[in-house]
Amino acid sequence: MKKSIANLPSFATVEEVIKELRPGYPVYCLRPEELKRQAKYFLESFPGRVLYAVKCNPHRAVIQALYDAGIRHFDTASLAEIADVRESFPQADCYFMHPVKARASIQTAHQVYNIDHYVIDDAKELQKIIDTTGGGEGRVILVRIVTPVHDSQYQLSDKFGISAEEAPELLRQVHDAHFQTGVAFHVGSQCRSPQAFSDGVKTALDVIAEANVPVHYLDVGGGFPAWYEDDQPPPLEDYFKSIHKAFEDNSLRRDCVLMCEPGRAMVASGCSLLVQVQLRKGNKLYINDGIYQSLSETLAGKFKLPARLVNPDRELSSNSQDFTILGPTCDSIDVLPEPFHLPDDADEGDWIEIGQAGAYTNSAATRFNGFFPETFVSVDAPPLLPTA
């Protein structure tokens, strides 16, 4: 069998995967070329430094594809993520972007991995970093702030972030402790409004002006959208323009670095999920993956993913209908909230390819009920995208 990126078995098409493996288990079909294309797009078009948010999809082959495309900076939230990235890529630059960290994690990040960038949203967290690392000396602390709410699928400011009123004082404390300073925010995941980012930048600039200390980093976070069926926000270019314009209107020192931390928009299209129908009952299809495994976001975020029925062994019906899709666990909430529109003769043994499955799928899967998808292959064929 041909091997490709990160030693994954490699196939020309999803049909070839099926012919070779006949999988009764879910298979993640990575599209390394699509991952690289999207990473290069960010690197070439975002007007600043691009970090990849590892939590979105930490699989080694995904990181490898992004690294091959030129991504060198990684937004990590735990010691495990830092260790994973650095184990494979000793030259990678990891940023410790969780606002609440165990002291032992800070100490290990500092001593073992030489991590230079940390995020805080509270003065007590600053003290923890001073206690464990001994203070500034060229290291960077970004203060995460709350920004105005716009149309995002998930709000991430409910849990983390200091108010714009309190942030200047915290920035001054960071500066006084001899760290380089930065301001960070996150507008929420799957954000449908470019203006959310420019409003965020404006809020950050107000905080910086008020703090009146030198600021070296402005981090606009993640939240850039991917396309789903029925959810097709403006192109990423509009977001980059909006950010660039707001950032240019500033009186900051010229060496202030603009950064972003995309997860979803960088990797969603770079992987599809191949599942198998285990039983049909009327218009219900029972499949081998569900909301406790790869498809939790269909419930939490109400995302409707593109899907197609595949069976290289037979001719599929040209009439189609809606099917309710049920996951494998014994819990009755394990049902996708949106139906899939598939050929009306779909039945046991057929496969369904589900697209836009690169973000928050394998990274969010549990082992509940003994079902755990863990098979990855690489596929050359183009990704399965939503119908525009």
Ligand X SMILES: *Cc1c(COP(=O)(O)O)cnc(C)c1O
Residues of the shown chain interacting with ligand X in the complex, contacts defined by CB under 6 A: 53, 55-56, 75, 97, 156, 186, 189, 221-224, 261-265
Least gap, CB of 225 to ligand X (angstroms): 8
Least gap, CB of 290 to ligand X (angstroms): 21
Q: In the complex with ligand X, which residue's Cβ is closer, 301 or 373?
A: 301
**Inter-CA distances, 5 with 207, 246, 307, Å:** 44, 39, 25
Least gap, CB of 174 to ligand X (angstroms): 18
Least gap, CB of 167 to ligand X (angstroms): 16
Least gap, CB of 309 to ligand X (angstroms): 29
Least gap, CB of 316 to ligand X (angstroms): 34
Is 34 in contact with 382 (CB distance < 8 Å)? yes
Q: Where are the beta strands (DSSP E) in the chain?
A: 10-11, 27-30, 49-53, 73-76, 93-96, 117-120, 140-144, 152-154, 180-184, 189-191, 217-219, 257-260, 271-281, 284-287, 307-310, 320-326, 340-343, 351-354, 375-379
Can you say whether residue 324 is alpha, beta or left, with left for phi > 0 and alpha for psi between -120 and 50 degrees? Answer: beta
Q: In the complex with ligand X, which residue's Cβ is closer, 105 or 321?
A: 105
Q: d(Cα 380, Cα 207) in Å, to the nearest integer?
A: 47
Q: In the complex with ligand X, which residue's Cβ is closer, 223 or 355?
A: 223
| CB atoms inside a 10 Å sphere around CB 315 | 8
Least gap, CB of 236 to ligand X (angstroms): 11
Least gap, CB of 191 to ligand X (angstroms): 7
Largest interatomic CA distance in the chain = 71
Q: d(Cα 85, Cα 87) in Å, to the nearest integer?
A: 6
Q: Which pair of structure tokens corresponds to residue 28?
A: 């993640």
Q: d(Cα 312, Cα 16) in Å, to the nearest integer?
A: 9
Q: In the complex with ligand X, which residue's Cβ is closer, 63 or 265?
A: 265
Q: In the complex with ligand X, which residue's Cβ is closer, 29 or 236?
A: 236
Q: In the complex with ligand X, which residue's Cβ is closer, 116 or 261?
A: 261
Can you say whether residue 103 is alpha, beta or left, with left for phi > 0 and alpha for psi between -120 and 50 degrees? Answer: alpha
Please enumerate in sequence order all residues whose Cβ is within 8 A of that of 45, keeping only pairs 6 or more positions apart, or say none.
236, 237, 240
Q: In the complex with ligand X, which residue's Cβ is closer, 21 or 100?
A: 100
Q: In the complex with ligand X, which residue's Cβ is closer, 141 or 342?
A: 141
Least gap, CB of 171 to ligand X (angstroms): 18
Q: d(Cα 372, Cα 240) in Å, to the nearest integer?
A: 37
Q: In the complex with ligand X, which residue's Cβ is closer, 224 or 351?
A: 224
Q: Where are the alpha helices (DSSP H) in 146-249?
A: 167-176, 194-211, 236-248
